[in-house]
Structure 1
């Protein structure tokens, strides 16, 4: 086609100008280029005590971390100790984020000293990124200042998911020694956990059960284990425990030797709890209706004769006494075992051991119960020789401590004392000071012993040879003579448990109740 006529050019130019001037200035601009994004996976490694049913939320400044509820994105448990979430977020910007637990309790991430961890930041630069971080511990937003001891328990693969685990031990926070009281919760990585608070330098003894002493943990060979031990440091610490094996076979029936009877006793003092009493009667008791017998009272009665009621194995008192009486090596006697209660520490100590044991100091009330209520009941029920020269008192650990204390307080009631692995350390060797303060030697026949492996002399609050020696020296200074009315024994390799006490109960009984009988 040829060139346009000159007459049409102004018209076309006018149309072009009209189109430009007449366009609507309020019309939307063309859509901007799409903002670059990054696929981001957050992997959070949680502390081992994190509950397995924990709900963890990832929160941050970007709307992409708000989640459907606006509270954050819920992370998914991946197994082990890892929770994860993958999401799409804007690229090339600084992102602030944090993690918190919303269930089973509301908690935030804390650092090692117990302060809330500030929000983290990351700049997303790749198309796909992985952001990994760890949580040291959980706690309230205000932080944690008190000491915390976390127990983390790994269990055998054959542990039933329906099993409940418990942590009985020697402190009030651990039961004490109630096999079904202090329950652990299920934690990540197929473990169980609990967090407790103890005073610094508290000596702990404990075991793991499934609710009873019949279901207590065993070693790999299926045998009983010694009490686990740990001394608290006063800050935040974890105690890792591995249960080697559960006893898969039904527990054997109780093995009781001789004539065994029981009493249920409610102390007249309402500050003391009701308890059971086990009584062993000597061979021939029923066949000699006119004969009367000396009596040995012993603490921690559930540990003496019946493994099914013991929290740490039994002494075998019934079998040992039965054999020694039948062999004519000890005088026939009656043995009375007083069960302990949850107030064992308080009842077996004459004063508190501050600041760690404020509950101590009820030995006077416990002794009054023995002297004014239990002993008269035993004397009225059984054919005893009620006089003090025929009556003894024995126990181990704190039971050894209270035996000596009550023997000195009631020398007319108890004159034969079994002071086994005594807790001489209690209240800065308070018992040693009491012996030194005696105005004169008392008519007491005393067995004292200690094992060389019961404690470390570099530590406080544990039974040591040095402490036991200090007590022996105090008794000698006051007039007791070794080989006559004092028997002091150091057991090489001896440990602080029922098995070792059972091994020497034979010697203890022969010293306190020899045959022929001691001359009053």
Structure 2
């Protein structure tokens, strides 16, 4: 079951749409459910809502998946380059993207201190850290990595699909090194072999993902770096990884 409702993002003084998935048996049960918070909520469930006409098709997957859970999909800001700004946790001057005065930390704080309490109050959730996950694709994947590093006391799991680690890579590495992280943390990080222009680019991207994985592993955090062969930077490729990252993170 998918519900949509508007919610106000206090630090940005705008409203956005929440795309909420509830298990099919939610109305009949008394169970408390784990929760996944996901970026780009409009791309999760419906091809009609998806930016490029193709969603991750998560509703179909979750309806048959053994672990029942709630998914809170947060729609991005579609105005000009606001998604890039709100989904970047750093101030960076990128060679291709230019100056980005990232507001991602404000968005994560809103999720932790306003959105999560709202969801916990209005729905039957398991509010514990062990039952709380964050996930995203591309810039949303970067945000999920940042959140699980810097707000680890709230998130025990992160699915980071093709995260845009090239945006602020050194700052992301520093956060991975400096953050206090619970050993009971799992991170799934994937990248597609067809996202790079050539073998040299793929080798470079792979080395960066493995470097991050190594930093997390040194903190006794469990990681799953996954190279998706023939994977592209799009929802179709990310949707094909649902079973892989869900099984890893929840089992």
Same fold (TM over 0.5): yes
450, 455, 471: which is aligned to 2:191?
Answer: 450
- Cα distance, 1:478–1:282 mapped onto 2, change above 3 Å: same
Number of the residue aligned with 1:406: 147
CA distance in 1, matches of 2:181, 2:114: 29
Runs of 4+ residues over 3 Å off in structure 1: 438-443, 456-460
Asked whether the equivalents of residues 451 and 465 of structure 1 are also in contact (C-alpha less than 8 Å), the reply is no
1:375 aligns with 2:111: no
CA distance in 1, matches of 2:90, 2:98: 9
CA distance in 2, matches of 1:489, 1:431: 19
Asked whether the equivalents of residues 260 and 279 of structure 1 are also in contact (C-alpha less than 8 Å), the reply is yes
Asked whether the equivalents of residues 299 and 340 of structure 1 are also in contact (C-alpha less than 8 Å), the reply is yes
Q: Deviations over 1:406-440 (max 9, x none)?
A: 11222221111111111111124421222123356
1:490 aligns with 2:232: no
Give the number of the structure whose residues are more often helix, by fraction: 2
CA distance in 2, matches of 1:261, 1:299: 16
- Residue correspondences, number: 243
Q: Deviations over 1:250-294 (max 9, x none)?
A: xxxxxxxxx11112011122x253110011111211111x21100
Number of the residue aligned with 2:176: 435
1:348 aligns with 2:81: no
SS at match of 2:21: strand
Number of the residue aligned with 2:36: 296
Give runs of aligned pairs for residues 250-265 of structure 1, distance below 5 A: 259-265=1-7
Number of the residue aligned with 2:242: 505
Asked whether the equivalents of residues 152 and 181 of structure 2 are also in contact (C-alpha less than 8 Å), the reply is no
CA distance in 2, matches of 1:510, 1:437: 29
Could you state the TM-score of these two structures normalised by the residue count of structure 2? 0.89
Q: Cα RMSD over matched residues?
A: 2.0
Structure 2: runs of 5 or more not aligned: none
- Cα distance, 1:416–1:441 mapped onto 2, change above 3 Å: closer
Could you state the TM-score of these two structures normalised by the residue count of structure 1? 0.45
468, 472, 475: which is aligned to 2:209?
Answer: 468
311, 327, 338: which is aligned to 2:74?
Answer: 338
